[in-house]
Amino acid sequence: MAPNIATNSAVELDELLAFVRPRHRAILLTTRADGRPQGSPLTCGVDDSGRIVMSTYPERAKTRNAKRDERVSVIVLSDAWDGPWVQ
């Protein structure tokens, strides 16, 4: 069996949202107050306006981090560990 090879490519917004809609596993990357990165697993979806929305609680560190520094990144994963993903 040939190994899966990861590739990076740019996609249009419609393609990105079509990929994200059926997938709900994500990792939110934020920056802690001391500058270190923090990765947090969470559930996500796409709302009617085409925005990626995430489920969390206001008192969580990821929420405080994102409010303090809005430069965040989200990785949306496939169900299969070696499946496609987007960031």
Q: Which residues of 43-71 are buried (b: 16+ CB within 10 A; e: fewer)?
A: ebbbeeeeebebeeeeeeebbebbeeeee
Answer whether residue 68 is part of any domain. yes
Strands of 73-77's sheet in order across: 52-55, 37-46, 25-31, 73-77, 85-86
Domain residues for the domain of 26 are 13-79
Ranges of residues in the chain whose predicted pLDDT is under 50: none
Answer whether residue 58 is part of any domain. yes
* pLDDT in the model for residue 81: 84
Answer whether residue 70 is part of any domain. yes
* pLDDT in the model for residue 10: 82
Answer whether residue 87 is part of any domain. no
Answer whether residue 38 is part of any domain. yes
The CATH number linked to 67 is 2.30.110.10
Answer whether residue 56 is part of any domain. yes
Q: Is the pTM of this model over 0.85?
A: no
* pLDDT in the model for residue 2: 55
